[in-house]
Amino acid sequence: MSKRSSYLVVVPAYNESETIAAVVEAVRERAPRFDTLVIDDGSTDNTNELAARAGARVVKLPFNLGIGGAVQTGFVYAREHGYGFLAQVDADGQHDAAELERLIETMQDEDVDMVCGSRFLTDDHRYPAPISRRTGIHIFAFVLSRIVGMPVSDPTSGFRLYNRRAIELFARDYPHDYPEVEAVLLLHHNRLRMHETPVRMYVRGGGTSSIGTGKSAYYMVKVLLALFVGLARRRPVADPGDRAPVSAEHGV
Binding site for ligand GTP (CB under 6 A): 12-14, 16, 41, 64, 66-67, 70, 90-92, 94, 158, 204, 209-211
Residue 18 near Mg ion by CB under 5 A: no
Q: Are 83 and 33 in contact (CB under 8 A)?
A: no
Residue 4 or 126 having the CB closest to ligand GTP = 126
Closest CB to Mg ion: residue number = 92
Residue 35 near Mg ion by CB under 5 A: no
Mention every residue, 6+ apart, whose C-beta is less than 8 A from residue 172: none
Residue 211 or 224 having the CB closest to ligand GTP = 211
Q: How far is the CB of 5 from Mg ion (least distance, A)?
A: 25
Task: Report the distance separating Cα 98 and Cα 31, nearest Å.
Answer: 6
According to CB under 5 A, which one of 15, 43, 94, 153 is a site residue for Mg ion? 94
Which window, 1-9, 80-88, 90-98, 105-113, contacts Mg ion (CB under 5 A)?
90-98
According to CB under 5 A, which one of 92, 99, 154, 182 is a site residue for Mg ion? 92
Residue 90 near Mg ion by CB under 5 A: yes
Q: How far is the CB of 109 from ligand GTP (least distance, A)?
A: 27
Task: Report the distance separating Cα 39 and Cα 27, nearest Å.
Answer: 15
The binder of 210, among Mg ion, ligand GTP, none, by C-beta within 5 to 8 A per type, is: ligand GTP
Q: How far is the CB of 164 from ligand GTP (least distance, A)?
A: 23
The binder of 66, among ligand GTP, Mg ion, none, by C-beta within 5 to 8 A per type, is: ligand GTP
Q: How far is the CB of 209 from ligand GTP (least distance, A)?
A: 3
Which window, 24-32, 94-102, 229-237, 239-247, contacts Mg ion (CB under 5 A)?
94-102
Rule CB under 5 A: which residues touch Mg ion? 90, 92, 94
